[in-house]
């Protein structure tokens, strides 16, 4: 690889967190447009494919066809194979609340008590088998597309990678060398997520981990490459672009109500002001930020300590993709900048594996 700053354009490929949404409208169609935009500029898209949800769609195939008039699992499978054939990248994404999910009376019943992979099973063997089987689903799609590539990276649903002792060991045992679940400075302690990433190495852009994605451990078998973010205040997040992404007519009404109640904004002017002033990390999200602001952040980030791995991870969600023109403005500016290049997770993993012997321990 070159000494360019490497950008990973990652997209989480899933319906909404409560199981609402439509596979064609919120996944397949917007992802096809994202792919086409990337292809105009000859760059790879890295798709974090939610396997647990896919398995639920397979399990409830008959009922879903009856209700929707099409087979969502089949559409996802076909698109994933097509993505690989078109030289994009598939990696593993899991939301454990889909484990055992049931489709009944036209909607999904998830298991919100199941938030982390570590909490699913007692033993390491069970967690390792769970990850092995999910990884095998995507590896099978690579194979079907005639590719020798295999899954090398993982992202936890809703960033819930803590605790991660069993999870990280299971990833390593299955040849997954990268985790990209962490957002520096993120803290969530509510009914939906329990995580605290405030202890992550502040000036580092990636580090080795063993039992906790936020704690550097030079003996760890997995490398954490966080989703890029900067600390800000919540009010800075309330851009028209973000509000459009979260509250457009594309988003199911019950999901919008759930988001508002989860925020815990309160109703008095004082509680609303306090809410807006909260400090929190703002992610480099190409569905929430303008191309101008993203380029400013990318260009002004301090150089990574390791010169040959100067990686910045961007995140987006297929269900939030609206504006092809803005996305393509960003890609055009990147293409015109000799200091930047877009790479895939597979390319980063390959590079890490090649220099595994010399990686500073």
Instruction: Report the interface residues with Zn ion, using CB under 5 A.
Output: 12, 14, 157
How far is residue 123's CA from residue 316's CA, in Å, rounded to a whole number?
Answer: 33
Give dist(CA 1, CA 309) in Å, integer: 9
In angstroms, the CA 295 to CA 170 distance is 36
In the complex with Zn ion, the residue whose CB is nearer, 6 or 318, is 318
> In this complex, which beta carbon is closest to Zn ion, that of residue 284 or of residue 340?
284
Neighbours of 287 (CB within 10 A): 24
Least separation in angstroms between residue 95's CB and Zn ion is 6
Cα–Cα separations (whole angstroms), residue 214 to 11, 61, 301, 360: 22, 38, 20, 18
Minimum Å gap between C-beta 356 and Zn ion is 29
* Closer by beta carbon to Zn ion, 14 or else 89: 14
Least Å distance, CB 158 to Zn ion, is 6
Q: Comparing C-alpha atoms, which of 302, 359, 289 is closest to residue 329?
A: 289
Give 157 or 220: the residue with its C-beta nearer to Zn ion: 157
List the Cα angle 314/319/322 in 5-degree steps: 80
Q: Provide, rounded to whole angstroms, the least separation between the CB of residue 330 and Zn ion.
A: 22
Is the preceding omega at residue 268 within 30 degrees of 0, hence cis? no
- Encoded tokens for 142: 């690579």
Q: Which is nearer to Zn ion, 87 or 246 (CB)?
A: 246
Nearest distance in Å: CB 217, Zn ion: 26
């Amino acid at each position: 690889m070159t000494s360019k700053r490497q950008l990973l354009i990652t997209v989480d490929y899933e319906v909404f967190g409560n199981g609402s949404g439509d596979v064609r409208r919120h996944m397949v169609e917007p992802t096809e447009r994202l792919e086409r935009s990337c292809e105009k500029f000859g760059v790879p898209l890295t798709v974090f494919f939610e396997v647990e949800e896919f398995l639920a769609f397979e399990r409830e195939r008959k009922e879903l066809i009856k209700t929707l008039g099409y087979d969502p699992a089949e559409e996802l499978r076909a698109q994933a194979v097509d993505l690989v054939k078109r030289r994009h990248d598939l990696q593993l994404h899991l939301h454990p609340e889909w484990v055992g999910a049931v489709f009944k009376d036209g909607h999904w019943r998830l298991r919100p008590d199941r938030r982390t992979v570590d909490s699913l099973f007692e033993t390491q063997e069970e967690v390792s088998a769970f990850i092995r089987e999910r990884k095998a689903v995507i590896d099978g799609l690579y194979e079907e597309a005639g590719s020798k590539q295999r899954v090398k990276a993982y992202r936890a649903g809703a960033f819930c990678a803590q605790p991660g002792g069993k999870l990280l060991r299971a990833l390593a045992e299955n040849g997954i060398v990268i985790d990209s679940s962490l957002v520096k400075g993120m803290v969530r302690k509510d009914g939906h997520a329990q995580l605290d990433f405030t202890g992550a190495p502040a000036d580092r852009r990636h580090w080795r981990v063993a039992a906790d994605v936020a704690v550097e451990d030079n003996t760890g078998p997995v490398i954490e490459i966080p989703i890029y973010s900067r600390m800000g205040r919540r009010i800075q997040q309330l851009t028209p672009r973000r509000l459009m992404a979260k509250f457009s007519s594309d988003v199911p009404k019950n999901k919008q109500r759930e988001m508002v109640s989860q925020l815990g904004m309160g109703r008095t002017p004082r509680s609303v002001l306090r809410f807006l002033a909260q400090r929190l990390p703002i992610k480099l999200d190409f569905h929430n930020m303008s191309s101008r602001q993203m380029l400013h952040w990318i260009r002004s980030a301090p150089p990574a300590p390791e010169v040959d791995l100067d990686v910045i991870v961007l995140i987006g969600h297929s269900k939030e993709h609206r504006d092809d023109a803005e996305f393509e403005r960003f890609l055009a500016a990147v293409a015109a900048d000799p200091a930047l290049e877009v790479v895939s997770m597979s390319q980063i993993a390959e590079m890490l594996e090649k220099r595994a012997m010399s990686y500073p321990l």
